[in-house]
Chain A
Amino acid sequence: MAAKTIISRPIYGILSPQPGKHHLFIADAEGALAITDMGGKAPPGFFDGAEIVFIPGPEGKHIAALEALKPAQLHIAPSFASLLPRLRQTLTNAHMGLRLYLAGTEGLIGQAMQVALEAGIDHTSMQTEHRGSLARRMQCVHCKGITENVTTQPALCSHCGLLLLVRDHYSRRLAAFQGVCINAEDRSEIPPMEEAFP
């Protein structure tokens, strides 16, 4: 569970069934378990009005558990990029009464939230639950390039190559943590790189 350090650092809850007419779940990898755990608390027939969009990841697990919930729709996507057009389309055509549930890695939650914010859903109106890897999506504040799945502190910018301190400072607009050059005064100073976000 992510600890609150500074005000922009997102904190996540535990999915709980909300009143609504349609329920849209977006999850990756172990985020599926947040949905199945919530399934035990949901009223009968809850998943009749539910759509689950799931990115299983390389291990390909948990699909059967989601099928067992018998959602109205279950869509399996290979990556977030591949589900983006479908998600945008769904939100564009949606009405008030649609509730959004995001579960899994911070990168997935953040990027899905970014699209939902553009569609007019307030971030406080979304249910979120963090499961699985702590890997971060990071923006280099110098070149603005985004590096996915950052697990180390410091981390290398995959665009400009600077060595960056991965801050807890988070941007909902960019769905990324901010990375700031850690050795700007003296580039020869190379702090040890540790596995900080496994």
Chain B
Amino acid sequence: MSTGTTKLDVVVSDVVPVNELVTRFHFRRRDGELLPTFSGGAHVVVEMRDGDRTRLNPYSLMGSPLDTREYTISVRRDDVGRGGSLFMHRQVKPGLEMVISYPVNLFSLDLRAKKHLMLAGGIGITPFMAQTSQLAGAGGNFELHYTCRTASLGTYADVLQQRYGNRVKLYHDDREERIDLDRLLSSQPLGTHLYVCGPAGMINWVRDRAAALGWPPETVHFEHFAAPQPGAPFDVTLAVSGKTIRVDEQQSLLEAMEAAGVDPPYLCRGGVCGQCETNVISSDGKFIHNDHWLSEEDHRSGCKIMPCVSRFEGKSLVLER
């Protein structure tokens, strides 16, 4: 078993369609006990057993951390992805027994902040559902700016506005509503921390503007689970285990290692936590780095790879696994 990935036996207690793309899933423990405590921003890795294939996808917990009778996640259907979200939407029904990981938080609130400024894009709203519940329960000072494509795709926008009134500001792409980001960032009181979750382009934009406007890196928090991208199949030699494996088009390198009985550590499976960082012993070809963990220097050096999201194209790759 991998580091920090103790498993929980759960049963699906409810499945609720939220809008045309998003469905919410509720999990309870099979033994009826309370689930482990978590903090806003935490995620769980859901095991999806689909025939002889097992997918492991991370999803942010969106319920209140004050209620551990059940965990809830919201899954946006991705018709062109690797099939995890389609499995959840099509196969998962109330009563199904599933296995999820203990919660892990790589996007936690810094509770020393005087104020929490949250920017969400699309399905990136889910960790903020839990964080706002946590802060509201403790009288915390927060403001949420939420960008969605259309009002009908503004998942939970109605719930959030009902709960928090004008602390929630909505921006609809189809109405040409845009965050005045520089003005927003420049008008925040000293001691504010910034949290951003959404598409990669949004995260990069917000991080760049925050850095340019003098927000120290310690005050800028972001989470983007990079779903493993499909790509051309490639062969890898695992020097420690003495195996040579093939990574299929729809498989991640991490998944291929697991399928071969090699069990590297992991936590997020989305290129952010650093657990599965692997040393490259030798390579002849090109790395396709998709992670947010390694430095640019590491990426250039070709000495390390994050097998959860990154791929390789070329003649040979030997890893220290």
Which interface class (under 10, 10 to 19, 20 to 34, 35 or more) fits B? Answer: 10 to 19
A95's partner among B112, B188, B212, B219 (CB-CB below 8 A) is B188
- Report the Cα distance A119→B191, complex, angstroms: 6
Is B18 close to A, CB under 8 A? no
* 0 or 1 for each of B171-206: is its CB under 8 Å from A? (1 = yes): 000000000000001111111100000000000000
Q: A21-B214, A94-B190 are known; give 11 further A-B pairs, CB within 8 A.
A: A20-B214, A21-B186, A95-B187, A96-B219, A97-B185, A97-B215, A98-B214, A120-B190, A120-B191, A124-B216, A125-B218
> Closest chain B residue to A96 by CB distance?
B188
B209 to chain A minimum Cβ distance, whole angstroms, is: 11
- Report the Cα distance A180→B272, complex, angstroms: 45
Which interface class (under 10, 10 to 19, 20 to 34, 35 or more) fits A? Answer: 10 to 19
- Report the Cα distance A51→B215, complex, angstroms: 18
A97 and B218 form a contact (CB under 8 A): no
Is B16 close to A, CB under 8 A? no
A19 — which chain B residues lie within 8 A by C-beta? 211-214
Given contacts A96-B188, A121-B190, contact A21 B219 (CB under 8 A): no
> Closest chain B residue to A91 by CB distance?
B190
Q: List B residues 153-185 near A (Cβ within 8 Å).
A: 185
* 0 or 1 for each of A83-109: is its CB under 8 Å from B? (1 = yes): 000000001101111110000000000
- Report the Cα distance A20→B212, complex, angstroms: 7
Q: List A residues 53-107 near B (Cβ within 8 Å).
A: 91-92, 94-99
A120 and B112 form a contact (CB under 8 A): yes
A98 — which chain B residues lie within 8 A by C-beta? 190, 214
Which of A's residues lie within 8 Å of B, judged by CB?
18-22, 91-92, 94-99, 119-122, 124-125
B218 and A99 form a contact (CB under 8 A): no
- Report the Cα distance A98→B218, complex, angstroms: 14
Which of B's residues lie within 8 Å of A, judged by CB?
112-114, 185-192, 211-216, 218-219
19 A-B residue pairs with Cβ-Cβ distance under 8 Å, sorted by A, are: A19-B211, A19-B212, A20-B214, A21-B214, A91-B190, A92-B190, A94-B190, A95-B186, A96-B188, A96-B189, A96-B190, A97-B215, A99-B216, A119-B190, A120-B192, A122-B112, A122-B216, A122-B218, A124-B218
B187 — which chain A residues lie within 8 A by C-beta? 95
B192 — which chain A residues lie within 8 A by C-beta? 96, 120
A125 and B219 form a contact (CB under 8 A): yes
B214 and A121 form a contact (CB under 8 A): no
Candidate in B114, B186, B189 with the most chain A CB atoms within 10 angstroms: B189
A20 — which chain B residues lie within 8 A by C-beta? 213-214
- Report the Cα distance A95→B185, complex, angstroms: 9
Candidate in A20, A92, A122 with the most chain B CB atoms within 10 angstroms: A122
